[in-house]
Structures are given as structure tokens and as C-alpha cells.
Structure 1
Amino acid sequence: MGLTLGGLASGMDTGAIIEALVGVKRTPITRMEERKTQANARLTALKTFDTKLDSLLAKVDGLETGRDLLANKATASSETNLSATAYSSATPGSYQVKVGQLAQVEKAVYQGVADKSTTTFGTGTLRLGHDGLDAVAYPDGYVDIAIDESNNTLEGMRDAINAKSADSGVTASIINDGSGTPYRLVLTGKTVKDANITLDASNLTGGAALPVKDTAVSSAARQAIVQVDGVTIRSDSNTLTEAIPGVTLDLKQSAAGFDSGAPDWNAVTATNITVTTDNAGIQKKVEDFVSAFNDLLKASQDEALANDGGIQVVMRTLRGKLYNTTDATGLYQLGVKTEKDGSLTVDTTKLGKAISDNLAGVKSLLAGDDLTVKGIGDLLKESLVSFTSPTTGVLANRQSIIESSIRSLDKEIARGEERLTAYEEQLTAQFSAMEQLVSSMNSQGNYFSQQAAIWANM
């Protein structure tokens, strides 16, 4: 059995010697690992910078056209009956809205049965009809549903109807009303056009009779009915997008006792809607842009991007769009100031005054005329779209090159580790052989010494 390393025979710390020699050989690998660490840091910093560019582009989108910049808001005198949301296309003004009736889809509720899974009905063809069926696809006004011994229970019929819901537009469910025959089939239309839902069971044979519709608790489909400035509007939805241009109305509550056939609008409470320019919203868009620009600046100053000419080109280009040397206009007119460190700050008082006193001028500065004259928002967007392009952007090739370099380093490091392992194994074998040789020589020396002592005594 060979001797264990550690200098037992030679007296040398062979383990330390091997470790030192391997350490010398590891130097190239250590340098590659350092290069990989730097490359990863640079890649992370570039991706962060790219993300901040996308964020800045999103904020610039809110400045580049008058439609996007000139935010509006709608204020309702009460939100009991409805709520209103204004968009940039809305025209400032006042409107009077009365909600007479809410839209609702039809719910056909059928009488109950004692058990939903064991009570069996007839088999054959169950026909489901309503007014909203496509007359071309279903000329007789019915969707046929096959019922056999596998699905002739209430649960089975529910599932069979739902399997055809893409065709019929009707979904089925089962409710439990807690009575002696609690399980009720409920058919619900998809839209208000799916009215007068019926089930024709005349082609079913055998089994129990299918429950009939309970008209006392069923609810018919109906449209929403509102009045806007005296004009009556009907809608299939409780969300109205064209009753007031640029404003979405969400209907919440109908008038009590409203008669759709003979409406008495004088008895319906009016909600006043006021649409105004949202100056605070415009100011926030400018402030959000400044915040996003500062985030980008901070990302550009990452230590891993030091002396990166491409990043500096991006920042210089964007900063150059904030001021027009031709006519001396710029964001400074809105109270946006460049600090010594390159960051932007906003004088909110000056910005608010510019918006309230000269909204047209603010629009012209930021969005141009939306035709031929470009504003700061247009110029910034042109550059940002170019910089953030996934194929031609300034960062696209850089990230690809760095990722390729990291993959190459990984391969070189792996090969270096393999060579280093082989080198360490070689040293271990050599030193082990040396220890064994020294041990053998020591043994021979001891033997000769013993023999010499014996000879001397003789």
C-alpha cells in the first residue's frame, strides 16, 4: 500500500507544495473568471439601461401628440347612477344624463327537481332556441342538442347545453333554492339579443317530463335606456362609449318604476357630467417624463458602463432634444432645469402656471402641431424608437456580443479546469512516487545502520 502524502518520508509539506504549484497554474483561469464577472456586470447594466430607455419611451408617448398630451377628466355630480371617464378626444363641456333602465341578459329559470344526478328525462333531441340565433346557420331558429342515456339527467343536460354554447350563445347552470325540489336549471343569454330563450322537449321520449320555465322568477333580456341632453339612447351594454364623444359612461343604477314603453323622463333623476381639461394630468405627464429621464441617467452612470461611448452618445442625443437652438425654445420654459450632475428638476409652480396660462403654447412646445411641425415629444420619440429597436438599436448588438463572449469564457474556463485537474493529479502521483522512494531508501539506510552496529559489536 502506498504512503499518504504529507511528507512523512521526506519531511516536506508536499500538500502545500502541490497547492502552490496548482495555484500558479490557476492564474489564467482566475483572470478569465474576472473577465467573466466584468462581462456579466456590463451585461446587467446594459439590460437595465435598455429597460430604462423603454420606460422613457412610454412616458414620451404621452407627450408627442395633442391627443395624448391634452388629458381630460369627467366629473359626475353623483356616482350613484353612473360613473364617467373622459379621454383626450372628449370636448370640454357639460352634459345631463338620466338612466332609465339598465341592460340585462335573459335568465330563464326552470322549475326544480328533487335530484340533479339521478332523475332521468326523455332521450332524443332537445332543441334550444332564442331570437339571437343566426338565421342563416339556424333557419328554423333552434340549436339541436343530443340527449341519450349518458346525459338525460339535469346535470347531463346542463353539460350538453354548455357543450353547444359556442353555437347557441347560451350557458346553463344549476342552482339550489333549498326547497323540496331544489335543483333548478338556469339558462343565461350571452347578450341582450339572446332573448326569448326556449327549450323544446317535444322530440324527447321516455323518462320524466322536462321542467317548465318558471316565469315568475325568470328575467327577460332588455336594453339600457338613457337620456343624454334630452336625446334617448338605447344600448345593449351598460358601458356606453358613444353617448358623449370621448367619454365612457358606466351605468350603475336604473330609475325606480321606469316604464320603457312610456318613459316619464321628468321623474328620472339627472346626473350632470362636466368634462374639463385635466391640467393636473398634463403636469403629471411632464413630471413622469423627468423622473424617467433621471432613472435613465442613473442607469447610464453604472460603474460597469464607465467610458462606454455608445451610452454617452445616447444620453447626449436625448439631452439635445430638450432644447432647440434654432428658436431657443425648450423644456426650461416649463420650469424643467438641468442640474450640475446632469439630472432634471421641475419647478412645479412654473410648470403649473405655464399649463394654466398658455396651454396652447405648452402643446406646441411638446407636441408640435400634430402635422408638420414637430415638438420635443416627437423628436425624443424618433430617437428613442431608434435606440430601443431590437434589431438595429444601439444596444442590441452590444448585448449579443457580450453574451457570446461570456459563453466563450465559460468554455475556456471549463477546459482550463480540466487541464488543471489533470496537472494536480500528475503532481500528486509524482510526489507520491517520490515519498515511496524516499521511504524505501530510509528503510535501506536503517537496515545498513543496524548491520554496521552489529559488526562493530562483533
Structure 2
Amino acid sequence: MASISSLGAGSGIFSNDLVNQLVEAERAPTETRLNRREAETQSKISAFGKIRSALEGLKSPMEALSKSDSMKAYTASSSNEGVVGVTLDSSKANRGNYSVDVQQLARAQSLASTEQADRDTTAMGTGTLTLNVGGNSTDITIDSSNNTLQGIADAINDANAGVSAGIVDTGSGYRLVMSSDESGTANEISVTVADDVGSNTDSDGLSRFAFDGATSNMEETVAAKDAILDINGITVTRSSNTIENVVDGVTFNVSSTGTSTVKVDQDPGAVADKVQAFVDKFNALQDQIKNVSGYKSVSEQGGVLSGDATIRGLQNDLRQQLTNIPSGLENSPIRMLADVGIKTDPGTGKLQFDQAVFKEKLQENPEAMTTLFADSDQGEGIATQMVASAERFLGSDGLLSNRTDGLNATLQDIQDQRDDLADRIASYEERLISQFTAADRLISQIQSSGNYVQQQLAAMAPSGGGGSGG
């Protein structure tokens, strides 16, 4: 770019300010137009982002309602929580009453060694301990580096053999205690010994830890037991106090012996909460649509997406689903959402939800309710159809993505035009400077010639004389 540091120095007519004013006058109309277009495009991208977020928020509860078990929800209670607690998997549970008599709790086996004078210095012998728990055998090498009570306990814990070990201070000495990690008779501990010195079954050296049914050199301080309980008169035995896979979807957590009555009942309130989440997200989407495309009375203008075909298409799709009658319900007392307490406010387009009506219909006809919302043998429910509608807009090649991609392309085009404008303005500025510099030089020459002529004329003029009259 040409230097303009001395522009106007010769004539005083042209100046840097004049060049700047002419450049700005050339730049301003196009730049203003591009700024306005960019701001409008950015606003549309932001608006589509808000619609996408609201639609994704709606899709989640719709997906929950589209599952075949969406209308199943149960609650469980125990008359004696101190004996039996209960947890449920509503997708598998069914109504039922269960009389539970806990006769025995499951326990893990514990073994204790003979008492020793210390835990860290006395050698216990060397060789191999083989632990068998639940049919799994683990060999543990005991040598001079770990043949104390504490060393053997650490080696057992490091072996992950299904046994935990520790040292108990009795007050008069120390005992090694082994406990099965899992309760029940199936997890009893067997310890066989390959002693480097003497017999594998005597009470000296490493063999003092043998406990394998034939040799009991350790003391069984706690016997392994299974949980035993009667459920509606049927005896059930488990190795754990968490009793699963007895009643579908029901887990009994027993904590003491005694009796309790467990009741599993339908929980229409939990299902209504799922539907309420759908209604709330649907209404939130309507608010966003109104915000970006509705008429604003304060500004007396439409939203940035007013009249947009994609937004109209989304609205039409969702509204159509609200009044659909799924296959199989044509002659049912439950045919559409309005029949179960979900109605549209014609003034706002939002949904109104009467939970009392919904709960009543759910208890009267749970199968028809499932058909209304979810996939069934008859076909797709309303929630399933609405999920499909949402995906048409939300997918990577969906309508919202296509619109956003188009707007991003517009932003790139605007940037390209800005680059072209910058090049054109730079060229225009250089041209102005060149023209003004030439004009300035010409005027300077004219001024110089004028000064010369004036000087010559002044030289030719007669000098003033002072003659005296006689």
C-alpha cells in the first residue's frame, strides 16, 4: 500500500483524512449489509440450537415411554424391615403378596490358627499352602521372606484366593484368622499343606495351618451357613443373604431371623411421573418454538425463525402424533392421548395433564395403555412414533442439521465477501493515494510556476524614482 504520510504537503488540498473519509464511504454500505446479514444468520443458528436442545430434551422421556415395560411400575413394602428388606426391578416384577419366614442367615466360614507368641519374628515353617474355596484352588508359596504370622496373612491377602486373613491379638498371644470372602457352605475353606520339613499333617511347621476335612489343625471359629427361608411355604436356600431369582423382579434382603409379609403393588404414580416428564418437555419445546418463531407484541415483529418451513414441519409432525390412534385401539375405550387425561390447550398448543384420570385408566386397562404409548404386537405406540419424528429432525443428516449446515455455509460466504471487500478497499485506497499524490505534485508545480512569473513581473516593473520639480 502506498505511503500517505506526506499526502497534501505540497498543495495543502489533499489529506489523509480525506482519503480515510472516501475509503469509509466506499466500505460502509457493503460492510453494513454484511454485518446485518451475519447477525441475522448467527441468530438463526442460535435459534435452531435452542430448538435442537429442547427437542433432545423431549426425546428422552419419549424413549422411556416407548419401551414395552413403560407402563409397568411397582412398589414393594415389608411389614418387618428388620427381618426382610426388598428391592424391585419394575420391568420384571408383578403384583403379589409373600409371607417370608427367615429361619437361618447365611454366614461366611472363619478359621483360626493356634496361638503364637508374636506375629512378626517367629518362623512358622516353609512350603506351600493350597487354598480351595468354591472349587477354586490357589497355591501360596511360604519361604523365609514371609513365614511369620503377619507374612502368611499378607501372602494370603495378596493371592486373591477368595479368603481374607488377619492377625488377632488375644491378649496372651496372636492367632492367624482366615475368613471366606463369600458366605454359604459352597464357599467353605479347605487348606492343604506341602511342608518343607516333617509331615504335611502334624502340628509343627507350616502343617499347623492344615484344615482339609481329614486334618483340622486350625479351629473353625465360625461355620459356613446358607440362608434358609420359607416363601409362601416353599423352602429356599441361598449362599447369600441377598435372595434373588426366586420371585421375578423381587430381591429379598434378609438381615435377621423372623417373619415378614412382603407386598408388591402397582405404582401408577411412578408411571404418571414418566408421562409428566414428557408433558413438561413437550411444553418446554412449545415455549422455545414460540420464542424463536412467534409474533412479539412488544417489538411488533416475528421471531428470527418466523415462517420457517422446518419449524412448521416439526410442529405439524408432533401435533399429528398427539391425535394418532395406534393400531389395535380403534375400538378400544382408550384410543388417543385425550382419553387418558392428556389434552392440548388450543390457545397455547401446550399439553395439559390430568394425573387422576391417567392413573384411573392405567389401573383399568394397563394393556391398552401400553399399546397407546409403546411398541406392541399391534404396532407402534404414540411415543415410538414421536421418537421417530424427533430423529428425523435430530439425526446427523436430519432437517435441523441440514438447516444449520446451510446457515454455516452462509457464514462462510459472508466471510468470503468480507475478504473480497478488504481486497477491493485496499486497491481503492492505493488508487486514491496515487491519484491524489499526482494531483498534489501537479498543483505544486503550478504554484511554483506562478511564483516564478510573479517574481519576473516584479523585476520588470520600473523602480520608483524621486525627481524634484523646478
Structure 2 equivalent of residue 311 of structure 1: 314
Q: CA deviation at 1:380?
A: 0.8
The TM-score, its normalising length taken from structure 2, stands at 0.67
The answer to whether structure 1 residue 270 and structure 2 residue 259 are counterparts is: yes
With over 3 angstroms needed to count, the CA separation of the structure-2 counterparts of 1:186 and 1:395, relative to structure 1, is same
- Measure, in 2, the Cα distance between the counterparts of 1:143 and 1:235: 25
8 Å contact kept, 1:6–1:14: no
Out of 365, 382, 390, the position equivalent to 1:361 is 365
Q: CA deviation at 1:233?
A: 1.9
**CA-based RMSD:** 5.1
SS of match in other structure, 2:349: coil
Structure 1 equivalent of residue 251 of structure 2: 248
- Residue identity opposite 1:248 in structure 2: T
8 Å contact kept, 1:59–1:289: no
- Measure, in 2, the Cα distance between the counterparts of 1:246 and 1:200: 45
Out of 269, 274, 277, the position equivalent to 1:280 is 269
With over 3 angstroms needed to count, the CA separation of the structure-2 counterparts of 1:15 and 1:201, relative to structure 1, is farther
- Measure, in 1, the Cα distance between the counterparts of 2:272 and 2:61: 16
Structure 2 equivalent of residue 15 of structure 1: 20
Deviations 1:290-333, CA, capped at 9 Å, x for gaps:
33443444455442474434313421331122697766744434
SS of match in other structure, 1:314: helix
Structure 1 equivalent of residue 351 of structure 2: 344
SS of match in other structure, 2:398: helix
Q: CA deviation at 1:154?
A: 9.5
Q: CA deviation at 1:338?
A: 2.3
Out of 195, 208, 211, the position equivalent to 1:202 is 195
Q: CA deviation at 1:427?
A: 3.7
- Residue identity opposite 1:229 in structure 2: N
The answer to whether structure 1 residue 75 and structure 2 residue 58 are counterparts is: no
- Measure, in 2, the Cα distance between the counterparts of 1:5 and 1:352: 87
Q: Report 1:384-395 matches (<5 A).
A: 384-389=386-391
Structure 2 equivalent of residue 84 of structure 1: 86
**Which runs of no fewer than 5 residues in structure 1 stay unpaired?**
135-141, 256-268
Q: CA deviation at 1:56?
A: 3.7
Structure 2 equivalent of residue 189 of structure 1: 181
- Measure, in 1, the Cα distance between the counterparts of 2:23 and 2:122: 86
Out of 227, 230, 242, the position equivalent to 1:227 is 230
With over 3 angstroms needed to count, the CA separation of the structure-2 counterparts of 1:351 and 1:386, relative to structure 1, is closer
Q: Report 1:401-412 matches (<5 A).
A: 401-412=402-413
With over 3 angstroms needed to count, the CA separation of the structure-2 counterparts of 1:312 and 1:431, relative to structure 1, is same
Deviations 1:206-227, CA, capped at 9 Å, x for gaps:
xxx8897797897665433333
With over 3 angstroms needed to count, the CA separation of the structure-2 counterparts of 1:396 and 1:172, relative to structure 1, is farther
- Residue identity opposite 1:421 in structure 2: A
Structure 2 equivalent of residue 238 of structure 1: 241
Q: Report 1:20-419 matches (<5 A).
A: 20-26=25-31, 29-30=34-35, 33-34=38-39, 36-41=41-46, 43-61=48-66, 65=68, 68-86=70-88, 87=90, 89-105=92-108, 126-134=128-136, 142-144=137-139, 165=160, 168=161, 170=162, 189=181, 192=184, 193-196=186-189, 198=191, 200=193, 202=195, 221-251=224-254, 253-255=255-257, 269-301=258-290, 302-303=292-293, 304=305, 306-308=308-310, 309-321=312-324, 329-340=335-346, 341-354=348-361, 359-361=363-365, 363-367=367-371, 378-389=380-391, 396-419=397-420
- Measure, in 2, the Cα distance between the counterparts of 1:285 and 1:272: 29
SS of match in other structure, 1:129: strand
Deviations 1:390-412, CA, capped at 9 Å, x for gaps:
7x988843244235435534543
SS of match in other structure, 2:195: coil
Deviations 1:16-65, CA, capped at 9 Å, x for gaps:
33233233443674466346425523541452254144224234236xx5
- Measure, in 2, the Cα distance between the counterparts of 1:414 and 1:438: 36
- Measure, in 2, the Cα distance between the counterparts of 1:224 and 1:441: 113
8 Å contact kept, 2:322–2:336: no
Structure 1 equivalent of residue 466 of structure 2: none
If asked which structure has higher relative contact order (CA below 8 Å, sep 6+), I would say 1
SS of match in other structure, 1:69: coil
SS of match in other structure, 1:130: strand
Q: CA deviation at 1:175?
A: 8.3
With over 3 angstroms needed to count, the CA separation of the structure-2 counterparts of 1:243 and 1:387, relative to structure 1, is same
Sequence identity of aligned pairs in percent?
20
The TM-score, its normalising length taken from structure 1, stands at 0.68
With over 3 angstroms needed to count, the CA separation of the structure-2 counterparts of 1:84 and 1:28, relative to structure 1, is same
With over 3 angstroms needed to count, the CA separation of the structure-2 counterparts of 1:408 and 1:316, relative to structure 1, is same
- Measure, in 2, the Cα distance between the counterparts of 1:108 and 1:270: 31
- Measure, in 2, the Cα distance between the counterparts of 1:191 and 1:444: 112
8 Å contact kept, 2:395–2:401: no
Q: CA deviation at 1:69?
A: 2.0
- The structure number with the bigger radius of gyration is 2
